[in-house]
Structure 1
């Protein structure tokens, strides 16, 4: 069974991971586990109180197939957790690592975006990260980008973020496509 860890922070952007969690868990039978800094409950930007399954220090790439980090207000404060060790461990183990919105810049801060195509809210937000050297690989586009097991997206792209993560986990197929199509019909032009 595919296991996905969702790393939540206080004031995380609940809409950025909700579609992935619902489709992966309810329709594709993936095990979706939430983690918070200390394993305690966190409250999202929208006011949802989430009781986490575990603490960040238990996140282990030997146990999970993906580490997904939604954006949120915490990533733009001095209290933001340092996710470098987790991201690098998952990436080194060949696991999917995904960040959306401000969390794409969290990935930039770890240095893993220096060698893969990627996107985010803006190139400027990535360039504020000392370890970031991937400017030539930045894609200024509204959809998620997936390359070599790393998925990034601007905060406005939770649908393509979900699609690219499911593809990277080999969960993309007729059932996933049908569910995403139902949830994303309003985005068709």
Structure 2
């Protein structure tokens, strides 16, 4: 299921970055949030990275990223969404600052989107115990030990009260849910975008070109 919500005029989407960041899982989302083509309000959104510190990190694909800001500089009031990509750190103490920030965002009513291993980190932090959610597999989350198994949904992406969760196998569905939540595109434009990228139907391209 997909929810939408209104956002403020100043809209910064923050992407959490850390070593072993799974590059490919959020690329469809960040590229189309940052690129103003087809937006309802071109120039409304910007994407900024946030790390545990401002020290460089290395993604799973071997790219070096210097975070724009550190977690302790980030306040929910300054953001419209925190996006958490998959990673190999989620079961370790090194990932706890990111789940703590996700909790702060949700408590403040600001959206969080997590995919793949990031959902494991949220589960370990108790953030999936009372929200419908998905992940790579029910067995994956059961393996980390959490109390929300009854709310697991076997769907590519699930949104519940501001928290978007997605499967690593479904980055395009994840991107669509994020853009719907932020109202980046008009609904009909988002449908055409998904027709092109999600269904690989070239008709979506021509619809977008005429939008």
- Does the CA-based 8 Å contact 1:96-1:165 persist in structure 2? no
Quote the residue 2:172 is aligned against: 159
1:50 aligned partner: 65
SS in 2 for 1:20: helix
- For 1:25 and 1:181, how far apart are their aligned partners in 2? 20
2:11 alignment partner in structure 1: 2
Answer 1 or 2: higher relative contact order, Cα 8 Å, separation at least 6: 2
Give the counterpart of 2:108 among 86, 93, 100: 93
Post-superposition offset of 1:92: 1.1
Structure 1: segments with no counterpart, 5+ residues: none
Matched, 1:135 2:149: yes
User: What TM-score does the superposition give when structure 1 sets the normalisation length?
Assistant: 0.87
Secondary structure, counterpart of 2:62 in structure 1: coil
What 5-or-longer segments of structure 2 have no aligned partner?
1-9, 203-211
- Whether 1:19 and 2:28 are equivalent positions in the alignment is yes
Q: State the shift of 1:115 in Å.
A: 1.7
Alignment partners' CA distance in 1, 2:125 and 2:182: 22
Is 1:67 matched with 2:64?
Answer: no
Alpha carbon RMSD of aligned pairs, Å?
2.2
Counterpart Cα distance in 1 of 2:189 and 2:49: 24
Alpha-carbon distance change, 116 to 36 in structure 1, aligned in 2, over 3 angstroms:
same
Give secondary structure in 2 for the equivalent of 1:3: strand
Any idea what the Cα deviations from partners look like across 1:132-182, whole Å, max 9, x if unmatched?
A: 3111110123x1111111100111111111111111222242444444443
Distance in 2 (alpha carbons) for counterparts of 1:179 and 1:52: 29
TM-score w.r.t. the length of structure 2 is: 0.79
Query: Match for residue 56 of structure 2?
Result: 41
C-alpha displacement of 1:125: 2.8
